[in-house]
Amino acid sequence: MKKTVQADDIYRLTFVSDPQITPKGDRIIYVKKQADKKDLCYYSNLQSIHVPSKIDTAFTAEGKHLDLMPRINPNGRYLAFVRIKDGTPSLRSISMYGGESKELTELPKGEIKNMQFSPDGKQLALLFAKTRESIPFEKDKKKEPVCREITSLLYRMDGHGFYDEEAAQIYVMRASGGNLKKMTDCAFDIARFAWSSDSATIAYTTVDHDFPDMHLEEEDIFLLKVDDLQVSKLTKPAGPVGFLRFSPDDRTLYFNGHFNPNYSWGADNMDLHAIDLTSGKITNLSGPLDRTTDMLTLGDITPSFVPQSPVITDKALLFTISTAGGNPLYSLDLETKSLESVLEGPECVVSYSASADARHIAIHLAQFERPDEIWCLELGEEKHLVRMSFTNDKYLEKLEFSVPEVIKVKSKDTDIQAFVQLPPDFDKTKTYPLILNIHGGPRTQYGYTWFHEMHTFAAQGYVVAYSNPRGSQGFGKAFADAITGKWGQPAYDDLMAVVDALAERSYIDPARLYVTGGSYGGYMTNWVVTQTKRFRAAVTQRSISDLGTFFGTSDIGWDLVSEFKGTPWEKPENYALWSPLTYIDRIETPLMFIHSENDLRCPMEQAERLYAPLRYMGRDVKLVRFPESSHGLSRGGRPDRRVKRLELILEWFGNHA
């Protein structure tokens, strides 16, 4: 007898990521992660797939560690990776022919953020943030200092905590191991870097400003000569930068970004650009698509906000975009500058790497039909997409679930994309309660992923609707920009249009409507219950209730200036107008708050500012606090807490049936 998806299936699922293909295209190394029910954490190892036979074997041993960031040397003979054991990272190397891994160098205390081999395979560059000498340790465990003296705006980050590290710098070492050589001395973090094709230069980005916290989106690009450490700054308009990639002849540097800094986050597209390194001319190459090149599809099995690393050949550059719930792979012809889709979907290309001739592309692919797996795209006279990993097949064999329906709903003059998850035993002659699930961001998108949360709700007899209202990414700049300065609208109208359309279906019980969402989705849940009483119950998660206090208490709260075109003291009426707290007396819907105590993005006080007054007024409310957890609880939090969160939502809705 088949089972349905349960909250604790988090322990039965396997999470794949970061596929790296060998130069010959005959093997793929990827990260396999699983939740450990006894230790209440996650462990990962590296797997190796033989592409011709699809045989998948353990490349590094499973154990009580996290093996991450596999990087294959261009010579194809060995691989470097990061192992985190007991919270301490080490940089290791292992032969591609097997055997035990060895430590490449003795690292100081700190965090490895990225690493890349030079194209000639002789050197390995690290982006490394060294822990400050003033931070005390006891038996290799970081202790809290006596105090922290803070003078910057950006001094902590959700999911990371306080910045106890120095600015991230580039270090280089011999590929075979040895001492690290510090290559840069930037005042602010280096965010990303890339080797030139001749291995002589490293391009990197950082914020080169006297007050970088106020100019985080004004990133500059620098060129570092590896032999003599000479640095030159490229001339470009101010704006954020994503990936960096040199052309094969090193005459052009490709990057994604835009030149509209300090505007609403995500409202402008991160376009693909080319800088001619001789003339300095900058050309926008993807503008006609009107889509961002950032990976902004949300999921709880599929990782979000994965940095992209384009593939480049003599003739083309391959990159992804976020569009209409998908992340297709596109090709830019470097000569004609024409664009065409290489892998359209509907599905999500999460990350990818290419063989030396770029005829084999290893892809981390998300789809409706199954949890994420590793695939190989073969590019020849014909294209062939071949599945390589089967990590969740045994789980799926015993599982009954439905594939979401994709619909378009008219909201005034705008088409809104929505996904409808039906119960696995759906019977059109029966009626079902409806859950509206609202995404965060706000400028992200729901899409073509296997979503554990949605399946869990559907398995308990709910129809689940999740949509991309205006303010989402994936539908063009104007669509994403529609909520700037007015977060509640027109997103509210779009969400209600989705509910209205589904409530007209014969199998939906219009008297049993529920709403939930997290982050901006929590903000919108708060907003919804101040605007309507149509929902029987609501669950607001890691939410925002007061935009004015959020400015000062969030790790990036001052970024609201770009949204509302002023500070809370300059435009108090605008912050109040769009804060759900302003309309608290209208809230009569039973409301449960789920919030993480270590959430630095949407701090706990945002839940408390609504909960305490509502409880004082005698309203039907409940506050659930998850200790030791950050804003990303639903996606990467401690597994037992992820399970409990889903159970609590279902319990709350069930108690208000």
Options 118, 304, 331, 519, the catalytic residue: 519
Who's near 630: CB < 8 A, 6+ residues apart? 158, 159, 596, 598, 599, 600, 601, 637
Who's near 375: CB < 8 A, 6+ residues apart? 362, 363, 365, 385, 386, 387, 388, 389
Say whether 152 is catalytic: no
Say whether 452 is catalytic: no
CA distances from 184 to 121, 201, 226, 245 (A): 21, 13, 10, 19
Options 355, 545, 631, 634, the catalytic residue: 631
Q: How would you classify the pairing of strands 339-343 and 329-333?
A: antiparallel
CA atoms within a 13 Å half-sphere pointing along the CA-CB vector of 259:
10
Tokens of 83: 């192992």
The 3-class secondary structure across 419-459, one letter per residue, is: EEECCCCCCCCCCEEEEEEECCCCCCECCCCCCHHHHHHHH
The 3-class secondary structure across 543-603, one letter per residue, is: CCCCHHHHHHHCCCHHHHHHHHCCCCCCCHHHHHHCCHHHHHHHCCCCEEEEEECCCCCCC
- Amino acid present at 200: A
Helix (H) or strand (E) holding 215: none
Distance (Å, whole) CA 446 – CA 302: 11
User: Helix, strand or coil for residue 210?
Assistant: coil
For the chain, the straight-line distance linking the first and the last C-alpha, in angstroms and rounded, comes to: 28
Tokens of 184: 């840069």
Q: In what order do the strands lie in the sheet with 316-320?
A: 311-312, 316-320, 329-333, 339-343
Q: Decide if 544 contacts 465 (C-beta within 8 A).
A: no
Distance (Å, whole) CA 117 – CA 82: 14
- Amino acid present at 646: L
Distance (Å, whole) CA 107 – CA 571: 48
CA distances from 240 to 66, 207, 236, 290, 480 (A): 31, 9, 11, 17, 17
Catalytic residues: 519, 631
